[in-house]
Amino acid sequence: MRIIRGKFGRRRFDVPTNISARPTTDFARENIFNVLENMVDFDGLKALDLFAGTGAITFEFLSRGCAEVTSVEKAATQYKFIKQVAQQLNCKNLNLIKGDAFKFIESCSTKFDIIFADPPYDLPNFGEVPTRILGSRMLSPDTIVIVEHSKAYDFSSLPGFFDHRTYGSVNFSLFRPGDNEATSEKDENE
């Protein structure tokens, strides 16, 4: 695993062979972060990485200056790897949670500026991931939600959808749910 840019940029970590997670490719990760950098300044942001896997997205957020990153991973092997890398990098602003991402989505009321979700492509209820996030209490009006998925899914009809990017076999759907909420609230108040 390689951290692409920022204060930890170019650092490499050997992912144990017993980790079965499919990490986001360097090419796809670099490109989606380029898109995000044109939308936000990472300095001071609060980010969430759901289904964190190897933690590649988590460490990219930290490296680029996010003030706080919460990383949720259920698998013990992946959780342990993320924890070890965080210790090596001396990351004080990482909140690492070993748990089920769906339960976290349901119970969390902390607001995040950016939410990234990369569920396993073979997750039985994969299609519910964006809907559950978009219906959660974790969203502020300006939250950006990124869901990584295969080409088998099309989330363009969901509320707040504003962009789709494809890099090789990796697809990203981007949402800004606050745009819809702001419009709904405005209509109700008029």
Tell me the pLDDT tens digit for each residue of 55-96: 999 999 999 999 999 999 999 999 999 999 999 999 999 999
pLDDT for 13: 86
Lowest mean pLDDT among 28-32, 106-110, 122-126: 122-126
pLDDT at 38 over 90: yes
pTM of the entire predicted model: 0.90
Give the domains, in start order, of the chain with CATH numbers.
Answer: 26-189 (3.40.50.150)
CA distance 30 to 115: 17
- Other CB atoms within 10 A of residue 119 CB: 20
User: What's the number of CA atoms in the CB half-sphere (13 Å) around residue 127?
Assistant: 7
b/e burial code for range 69-101 (CB count within 10 A of at least 16 → b): bbbbbbbeebbebbbebbeebebeebebbeeeb
Reported confidence tier of residue 17, pLDDT bands at 50, 70, 90: confident
